[in-house]
Structure 1
Amino acid sequence: MIRGTLIAGAALFALAGGMANDAAAREMWTAAEANAWYDDQPWMVGANYNPRTAINQFEMWQADSFDPETIDQELGWAADIGMNTMRVYLHNMLWEEDAEGLKQRMNQFLDIAEKHDIRIMFVLFDSCWDPNPVSGPQRPPIPGVHNSGWMQAPGAERLADRSRYDELEAYVKDIVGTFAEDDRIAAWDVWNEPNNEGGGGGSYEPTPNKKELVAGLLGQVFDWAYSVDPAQPLTSGVWIGESWDQPETLDAVEKIQIARSEVMSFHDYNWPEQFEERADQMLSYGRPVLCTEYMARGNGSTFDGSLPIGAEKNIGMINWGFVDGKSQTRFPWDSWKKPYTYEEPTIWFHDVFHADGTPYRQAEVDLIRRLTTEKNGARAAR
């Protein structure tokens, strides 16, 4: 533990506004409390999960496309290779249009996951991909293009409209509050890559003043989630930059992420040397650390390179992509500029299984199974 970093972390909390004055709000866990929680968990390993039949959050959760049979099958494949945690995205518009239906389907999903001894990290908001979300029937995948239907939450229009933030507050408080004592849920990720401009290789118009708007909202999202006293920890993961352990280099959004997260989380899609460097930076805060996105084979991030480092350093590991399907994340990021319409990628970028349950690479699932068995067996024997 680096004392200077802990002092800087306290300063960051003050700069980020601290906790809202809400009599019902619980205090943010101390590092000791967060570590005590983490000591009681298995080594958390899994994937960012979206069923192969859904192009995005809307198709996963809307009543007419919710697919419990496929979810049950795929989570069975996950459990078989030792995965015990899935990171899953929600969307505020799903709640606004059918709050009770969404919560019922979330409960059904959690029942399926529990049957397979898998716990869930839900993601409340997301700054990646299409900034203009539309509910209802979703467009079909763009042939040969990576993640062509993913939607930002709350989206550009809603992010800019402060007069409707009360609806976002109600969404956060109802969803987190409803499941605040649910041990089927491992953690809450309040906002995925909040300072991401969007992605899509220039296919989407950038959101004006996005980072400033997010910096003004993110702390409130943490406040709303803390206010309903969840038994699970809160986090939001950093993903860009080279010096996460140096607070003076962080932008306004990152300062809030670092200051308000009870467990630290980060993303890394690079070679193992950089993964290890970033992991050590996050560990310097003296809190548990989860890598909530990694594994982009063509970019140098692989199970072989990163997963053993996570095991050694006791970092939870959640890769991007699970079963090849409508999200098409076997195609690389550059497919937004060069769609793979006449050829398959030389190697799959993300994903673990073909749609029929056959592993893309048997050695990878063998590694996942071996490391989770060894590490969780050792934890159980303590």
Structure 2
Amino acid sequence: MSRWTAERAWEWYRARPWIRGFNYVASDCVNRIEQWQELDHHEKSKTFDREFELAAQVGFNAIRSILPYEVWRDQHDGFMQRLDDFLATAARHGLSVMIVFGNDCTVPAKYYTPPVLGPQPVDWGYHGGVARSPHDVLDAHGFSVLDVPEEAEGFGRMVDEIVGRYARDERVNIWDVFNEPGNSRRESRSLPAMRRFFEIARAHDPIQPLTAGPWRVDPRGDLSEIEQVALELSDVISFHDYAGYGRSVQILDRLRREGRPLLNTEWLHRMQGNDVASHLPLYFLERVGCYHWGFVAGKSQTHEPWEAIWRRKENGVGDHYDFTKWQHDLFRPNLRPYDPREIDTFREYFVLADDHFASGRW
């Protein structure tokens, strides 16, 4: 099978309401291993249900979730059942799921610790729940399990199985084949794997579009090799943008040239002016699907600044950051809003978008 035509991509996009979602890690999970492993999953599933209900009350209709290969590998049958339960819980609350496979957001080999299933340690006070993270200063290219041939083969089998099982399932709305290709100084190291994952997924002729998004779009410059290939392979164009309003407008202007629907699959960085009041109206006006990072603040602590931000401040180059604000996430652990005005803004534009869709103006 080949890449969708632009016409098919637009037909798919215009047939559904404005896609508005969030990147999800449950508040009682420090990482994706804890969210998807067997240990205490009954309690985690209660958290999913509670937090998805809250999302539905606001008016969200989508979730983005990166799947952990290691849990699929080591707890295969249970993982597949938990994935199906997750999709069912999301669908019950009107939330479709964007499933993500590859991921170049990682740490150099000398800092890399292979994930171990079981109780997951938490470094309190650190974004992501770990003191040494991909958002810290990198002194070498990041390590990936895709660098290990037998693991890369296994990863491909996971993509094949999951896309094959859900290629006709409306509960999955998009396949995000690779998260932030080329990040962590990896550049084009993951390019062969990304191409292969697209080929594997495409072979199932899914009803959902495929995508992989650039994460550092320079409005006036060229994309890296792997990011350019990601755009060329994608049915719909996804990207990440945590910049201030002016640069975000320029990024949209650059990506409009691709002639396909746009989805920002990571946004919301209040500390540097990427916030709800400025960016949500922009994405509504430009008809750009959007998934901000985080939902309920918890063990992963993504409301905290990236460690690199603290280091920049310590080195005298962080005066432009507003440390009085949360970086990501919308709700406090008690499920009350971080800022009630933000939730009012979400609701206002979600209702407006649905009115436009119902009247044929979308």
Q: Same fold (TM over 0.5)?
A: yes
Aligned residue in 2 for 1:238: 214
Tell me, yes or no, if structure 1 residue 32 matches structure 2 residue 7. yes
Aligned residue in 1 for 2:85: 108
Asked if 2 retains the 8 angstrom alpha-carbon contact of 1:94 and 1:135, the reply is: no
Residue deviations 1:3-41, cap 9 Å, x none? xxxxxxxxxxxxxxxxxxxxxxx2211000000000111
1:47-196 equivalences under 5 Å are 47-66=22-41, 67-130=44-107, 131-149=112-130, 156=143, 158-196=145-183
For 2:204 and 2:346, the matched residues in 1 are separated by 36
Residue deviations 1:74-131, cap 9 Å, x none? 0111111111111111021121112221111111111111111111101112111444
Give the SS at the match of 1:190.
strand
Tell me, yes or no, if structure 1 residue 363 matches structure 2 residue 344. no
Change (3 A) 1:362 1:337: closer
Q: Which amino acid aligns with 1:137?
A: G
Change (3 A) 1:65 1:127: farther
For 1:373 and 1:212, the matched residues in 2 are separated by 42
Give the SS at the match of 2:94.
coil
For 1:148 and 1:191, the matched residues in 2 are separated by 23
Long gaps (5+) in structure 1: 1-25, 199-209, 339-344
Change (3 A) 1:135 1:182: farther
Match of 1:328 among 301, 304, 313: 301
Pairwise CA RMSD:
2.1
Change (3 A) 1:289 1:58: same
Q: How many residues are treated as equivalent by the alignment?
A: 337
TM-score, scaled relative to structure 1: 0.83
Asked if 2 retains the 8 angstrom alpha-carbon contact of 1:91 and 1:125, the reply is: no
Give the SS at the match of 2:129.
coil
Residue deviations 1:338-373, cap 9 Å, x none? 6xxxxxx52111110011110000110000011011
Asked if 2 retains the 8 angstrom alpha-carbon contact of 1:144 and 1:335, the reply is: no
Q: How far has the Cα of 1:243 moved from its partner? A: 3.1
Tell me, yes or no, if structure 1 residue 378 matches structure 2 residue 356. yes
For 1:193 and 1:239, the matched residues in 2 are separated by 6
Identity between Structure 1 and Structure 2 (%): 32
For 2:294 and 2:87, the matched residues in 1 are separated by 19
For 1:377 and 1:116, the matched residues in 2 are separated by 20
For 2:119 and 2:250, the matched residues in 1 are separated by 40
Aligned residue in 2 for 1:9: none
Q: Which amino acid aligns with 2:195?
A: G
Asked if 2 retains the 8 angstrom alpha-carbon contact of 1:146 and 1:336, the reply is: no
For 2:8 and 2:40, the matched residues in 1 are separated by 40
Q: How far has the Cα of 1:337 moved from its partner? A: 4.8
